Amino acid sequence: MARITIIGGGVIGLSIAFECQRRGHNVTVVEAQQCGGQASGAAAGMLAPYSEIEEDPDDFFRLCQRSLQLFPKWQEEIKRHSDIDFEYNESGSLYCIYHEADRLSLETKQAWQRKFNVESTILSAEEVRVKEPGLSRDVVAALWCPEESHIYAPGYVAALLQACRNLGVHVIEYVGDATLDGYAVVTKQERIESDQVVLAAGAWSMYWEKELGCTLPVYPIRGQICAYEAPPLNHIVFTSQGYLVAKANGSVVAGASEDIADFDTNVTEHGIGRLEKWSKKVMPVLEKMDPFHKWAGLRPATQDGFPLIGKLIKKPGVILATGHYRNGILLSPITAKIVADEIDQVPQQIAIGQFRPDRFQAI
């Protein structure tokens, strides 16, 4: 049994804490502010790698796909251990196009994803209307991915936190700054001796560069998002410009911008204005509506777009689990499994070499 201290109480830190504690370790989570108070709680909760990943398959695609496959059982376990129900909707998705010229890109996406047994169908305009009558008549076709789903992120994070507490994880919030002394995590209040330290601080991970003596090119990219009180959609709806997703609380969420604003989580007129303009074109009923809620979160982006997951070669008592960018919610179960397997020295069943946290060091 190892003493594990996790720095960061977002969805990644809490998922790792849950997995490690239930495997018999003694876990402490140290959170600078409130658990789930940043990007994790702000997310739209998309579990949609087939729509969101444009590139050809690589280890990152496989990582996302594996995590999507883990979700049905994973979310049940979180519900069971927390005794909190939260929305998990296996809605499927529609990736809509407005121009015949874009059909080829749908076909290309479908062709390479088929090699990975991804189920999808290209629907005609009429078929899209049957599935989703509220969408614009300008949609000419859509790629239907029935396996994609979504989750209510604030509910998921609250349940994860409760599940951790119920299992006996020691969660310390509002610690402010912390430092590392050997493998002890030192806060203003206490010194937490650890066998293993996990850095899961999302967009704030770069502040640990000096402590860890390594280059951590993780940057905050703001995602602005808004929600309408609107009739529900049956699927997650994507276009090349964004996504719409209906939640069980009666909201339709429109996301999301990508802009650089340092650590500013305010929304801007420009950011939300673009989303409004776009969403009204996709779903005409929104035309006469104003969003009732607007917010933003900071996604942890990395220099090469891939997360940092694994042990630091020069400091093997430290494992990094950060830089999940647009996919933190989706990648939470697989990241928890990978980190727990590293700690338990169980061989990885999935290629993680591309995510080595030391890959940015000068040689």
Q: Measured from the CB atom, is 151 or 201 closer to ligand GLY?
A: 151
> What residues between 90 and 149 interact with ligand GLY by CB under 6 A?
none
Nearest approach, Cβ of 242 to ligand GLY (angstroms)?
A: 8
Residue 301 C-beta: closest distance to ligand GLY, Å: 10
Told to check if 300 binds ligand GLY by CB under 6 A, we report: no
Nearer to ligand GLY, 235 or 299 (CB): 299
Choice between 22 and 150, CB closer to ligand GLY: 150
Whether the CB-CB separation of 4 and 28 falls below 8 Å is answered with: yes
Q: Measured in Å, how far apart are the chain's first and last C-alpha atoms?
A: 35
Give the position of tokens 């950060």: 322
47 binds ligand GLY (CB under 6 A): no
Q: Is the dihedral of CA 329, 331, 334, 338 positive or negative?
A: negative
Q: Which stretch of DSSP H or E encloses residue 245?
A: strand 242-246
By the rule CB under 6 A, 223 interacts with ligand GLY: yes
3-state helix, strand, coil in the chain (%, to 5): 35, 25, 40
Query: Rounded to the nearest 10 degrees, what angle do helices 59-82 and 11-22 cross at?
Result: 70
- CA gap 250, 181 in Å, rounded: 48
Out of 44, 218, 253, 312, which residue is the one contacting ligand GLY (CB under 6 A)?
44
Rule CB under 6 A: which of 229-268 touch ligand GLY?
255-256
Given a contact cutoff of 8 angstroms between Cβ atoms, the answer to whether 322 and 300 are in contact is yes
Q: Does 46 bind ligand GLY (CB under 6 A)?
A: yes
Span near ligand GLY by CB under 6 A; candidates 44-52, 89-97, 244-252, 344-352: 44-52
64 binds ligand GLY (CB under 6 A): no
Q: Which amino acid would we find at residue 254?
A: A
- Binding residues for ligand GLY, rule: CB under 6 A, are 44, 46, 52, 223, 255-256, 299, 326
